Amino acid sequence: MDEPHCNIRIRVATSYVDDQSEPESDRYVFAYTITIANSGSIAAQLISRHWIITDANGKVQEVNGDGVVGEQPYLSPGEEFRYSSGAVLETPVGAMQGIYRMEADGGIGFDAPIAPFTLAVPGLLN
Total-model pTM: 0.90
pLDDT single digits (tens) 66-113: 999 999 999 999 999 999 999 999 999 999 999 999 999 989 999 999
Strand duo 93-104 + 60-66: pairing: unpaired
pLDDT single digits (tens) 27-54: 999 999 999 999 999 999 999 999 999 9
pLDDT at residue 126, as a whole number: 57
CB 66 within 8 A of CB 46: no
Instruction: Give domain limits for the chain.
Output: 8-115
Please give the CATH topology (third level) of the domain spanning 8-115.
Immunoglobulin-like (2.60.40)
Q: Considering Cα of 38, then 44, then 46, then 51, what sign does the dihedral take?
A: negative
Q: Name the residue among 93, 86, 82, 80 with its Cα closest to residue 120.
A: 93
Q: How far apart are CA 32 and CA 87, in angstroms?
A: 8
Distances (CA, A) of 105 to 26, 43, 71, 118: 45, 6, 18, 33
